[in-house]
Structure 1
Amino acid sequence: MAKQAKIEEIQYMRGFAFLAVVLQHAIGHYAYLPEAGLQDGVMLAVFLIAAKFAVPLFIFITGLVLFYNYKEDIAYGAFVWKRCKDIVLPYAVWSIVYALIFGGDHLELWKETKQIALYLFTGTACYHLWYVAMVIQLYFLFPLIQKALLRIRRSCKPWQLAVGFGLLTIGYVLLTGQVSVIGNAAEMLHISVLSSLFTEYADRNALYFYLYFLMGAVVGLNVEGWKRRIMNWKASFIFIYVFISGLLLYKITASFQTKSGLVIQYNDTLLVQPFMALFLIFSVIAMSIISVIIQQSAGQWIKRMLTFLGHYSYSAYLAHALMLTAATYIADSLFPDWNVSVRTIIAFVLCTLLSVGLAVLLSRFRIGRLLSGVPAPRKPAM
């Protein structure tokens, strides 16, 4: 297979998504503190809405890269083996690290190999690892999905493909409103493993994120066409994105007033629900537009910074929950009397620097790259 040209916007989007994840989790630490007031709740809601694209964008990138690089028949064994080395092994290592640090009795952990296996299969060793457990499903299913989609693409006309994708989009939005119904049905069936995937682990079931992967697939099969279309309609897409963001902010702030008084909560931003599905679809498009604009117009230092972040994003993602613990401790120790919103931003910046710094440090050692998911050092441009 001929080597594909590099898509620079991919690294920018990875950098954006990593920063957004860190910001979300910093907000999650501070938003519910007793000293958080209404002004903090509103400010953090704005930050959260701005960052909520992270997971869908990561999934979108996964689909884009896979379908861009693999347009012919795939050797399933070789494909899965490579992903086990690049994705699963670092995930397994970090799962064990988090289990040892946050799992309580270390001795019991090592005795209970069943518990370790559960951590690995469910992504429950730490709160952010659910995403990796979910995306691994997509990697393992990709060769089958790719074969089916390429066959459909060859046998259908463009208008039929467009209608089909539109129906899948509508179906996805409707699906996100039926998660509890599907979960109740799955629980009644009592099917080993499968029932759990639709009940207690439904939030990491790849079925409930399929649309973002398919969006990436569509783009990966026609990158230049995608760029051309979103840039031709960029004003409309950005307007819709901003409009829906405003509606979401209204919903969030309205939910603060409860019968028991002011309660800061962000339940309306949970990923798998119909309104959020609409918002996230347009947020992925908006981030794609911004990435293309950066590639076309931004200064070299911005491009280098985002490329740098994107290069180390997976390793930094795996490490960031541990680094956030350190970052919030530093922020709270140095600025105990500062307001919640400011401490959130301080912790976000510190966590970003610590996570990327650790990723860079690990990249200096072969075993570090292997076990942490750090890519091989980048070769200088010729």
Structure 2
Amino acid sequence: MSQIIATNGAASPRTSLERVDEWGLLRGLSFLAIVMQHSLGEFIYRSDILFPDAVAMALLYHLIRYGTLTFVFLAGAILFYRYGRRDRRYAPVLVKRIGDIYVPFACWTVLYWILTKTLSHQPLFAWSDWPTFLQQFIAPTYGYHLWFVVMIFQFYLFFPLFRAAASGIGRWTGSSQAERTKFGRIGLLILLLAIVYGWLMYLSYYRMPEWQTSGLWKTLLDYRTYEFPYYAFYFVLGGICGTYLEKWRGFVLKMLPWSTLAFIGMYLWMNLDLLRSSGEQINLNYSTYLKPSSFIAVTFQILMLYGWALLLQKQKGWWTKLLTLCGKYSFGAYLSHAMLLTGIAVLTRDWIFPGWHLPVSVLTALFAAPTALLLCAGLSRLPGGHWLTGGAGRNWRLRKGTQGSAKN
């Protein structure tokens, strides 16, 4: 996902911008969390799983729910950090993002279509399949993880509206000369937005499934997990981070003990809620992103992880370098990792793991994550590889060309 939330590169409009290293760490952490989450999903619903194994997997699942929503947060941070000023031309950025994000998504959509049809022993392109095939480029179902690309790309399309709104709000918050008053107003706006967003999550989880609608409204409700308003709070929170980076860093470090305690409390509550809701079989769908408790837990977790990422960045150890490398190739690896997990699931479908589902899930993720990263790194170096990996391939060729020119 590094193309979705890239922090540097040749297309940067302002070469004087500081490189924000902690964003690379968060990107790597989020990618690893997503792979682990999807690996758990491949094994937790198998018929031979024991209830204690399912509970243990659910406990781990709630620790790594931050992955996808952290990418939304980082997308907002990067866009406002680099293009928040209204005098910055945004149209070229959007065109570039179409090539870096949507084109690789479209290519992998076709690949997942072929994989699914092959595994189910169906014709690849029967005439009756064309409407479903075309739907995959708007609301993908054959690649269970591709929905995120469709959703996050909407933020790029509507970013000028977010920027215009932020400009108007900025005139109000900046009308006072007192910095304390200014950030107090920003804090109040964030609190109000959190209340409104929490109410939206309440409606989405507890009320919208019961609404009797038809036509366009029914479609919007049925596909709300694909729609950007249901994730807008994290994007706006990221925008605050990108606009007031130094203040944000100080804030999350100051809040680190409290955000950690708050997340622990919400983590315990989410596990209890899941166990109560699931009954005899654990159902992870009860912990959907569009749920008030998930919203509160993930928000505190993002604040917590940001603080820990700042502390980790200061260490400059091997773990920092590893996470940065994961973040660098995360987009292409994200697109491909589900195919690896599907292959492993098909291979092990008839294997029995009573009492071992959690270790098998962890081992599967430990295999799939580095394999997907290596695959992305390899594809990025091939001619036309950027069609599958996004900017990772283009940036590699640019660096190689620069190095070649320097030698000449």
Instruction: Give the C-alpha shift of residue 70 in structure 1.
Output: 0.7
Q: 2:44 aligns with which of 14, 17, 31?
A: 31
Match of 1:217 in 2: 239
Match of 1:5 in 2: 18
Do the aligned partners of 1:335 and 1:343 also contact (CA within 8 Å) in 2? no
Q: 2:94 aligns with which of 75, 80, 88?
A: 80
Q: 2:263 aligns with which of 222, 234, 241?
A: 241
Match of 1:277 in 2: 295
In 2, Cα distance between the equivalents of 1:147 and 1:329?
Answer: 48
SS in 1 for 2:48: coil
Do the aligned partners of 2:263 and 2:297 also contact (CA within 8 Å) in 1? yes
Does the C-alpha gap of structure 1 residues 149 and 182 become closer, same or farther in structure 2, counting only changes over 3 Å?
farther
Instruction: Give the C-alpha shift of residue 337 in structure 1.
Output: 6.6
Does the C-alpha gap of structure 1 residues 91 and 266 become closer, same or farther in structure 2, counting only changes over 3 Å?
same
Size of the aligned set, in residue pairs, is 372
Do the aligned partners of 1:12 and 1:310 also contact (CA within 8 Å) in 2? yes
In 1, Cα distance between the equivalents of 2:211 and 2:344?
Answer: 42
Instruction: Give the C-alpha shift of residue 216 in structure 1.
Output: 0.4
Match of 2:323 in 1: 306
- For residues 22-171 of structure 1, the aligned pairs below 5 Å read 22-73=35-86, 74-103=88-117, 105-108=122-125, 113-157=130-174, 158=182, 159-171=184-196
Do the aligned partners of 1:20 and 1:52 also contact (CA within 8 Å) in 2? yes
SS in 2 for 1:199: helix
Instruction: Give the C-alpha shift of residue 86 in structure 1.
Output: 0.6
Do the aligned partners of 1:332 and 1:343 also contact (CA within 8 Å) in 2? no
In 2, Cα distance between the equivalents of 1:79 and 1:374?
Answer: 13
Do the aligned partners of 1:177 and 1:273 also contact (CA within 8 Å) in 2? yes
Do the aligned partners of 2:109 and 2:142 also contact (CA within 8 Å) in 1? yes
Match of 1:16 in 2: 29
Do the aligned partners of 1:19 and 1:352 also contact (CA within 8 Å) in 2? yes
Match of 1:205 in 2: 227
Tell whether 2:336 aligns with 1:323: no
In 2, Cα distance between the equivalents of 1:238 and 1:171?
Answer: 24
- Calculate the aligned-residue CA RMSD, in Å: 2.4
Does the C-alpha gap of structure 1 residues 22 and 147 become closer, same or farther in structure 2, counting only changes over 3 Å?
same
Match of 2:9 in 1: none
Q: Which runs of 5+ in 1 are unaligned?
A: none
Do the aligned partners of 1:312 and 1:374 also contact (CA within 8 Å) in 2? no
TM-score, scaled to structure 2: 0.85
SS in 2 for 1:108: coil
Match of 2:179 in 1: none
Instruction: Give the C-alpha shift of residue 130 in structure 1.
Output: 0.8
SS in 2 for 1:120: coil
Q: 1:340 aligns with which of 357, 368, 373?
A: 357
Do the aligned partners of 1:109 and 1:115 also contact (CA within 8 Å) in 2? no
Do the aligned partners of 1:328 and 1:347 also contact (CA within 8 Å) in 2? no
Q: Which runs of 5+ in 2 are unaligned?
A: 1-12, 175-181, 404-408
Instruction: Give the C-alpha shift of residue 267 in structure 1.
Output: 3.2
In 1, Cα distance between the equivalents of 2:343 and 2:124?
Answer: 25
Instruction: Give the C-alpha shift of residue 161 in structure 1.
Output: 2.4
Do the aligned partners of 2:14 and 2:82 also contact (CA within 8 Å) in 1? no
Do the aligned partners of 2:107 and 2:387 also contact (CA within 8 Å) in 1? no
In 1, Cα distance between the equivalents of 2:128 and 2:49?
Answer: 41
Letter in 2 for 1:144: L
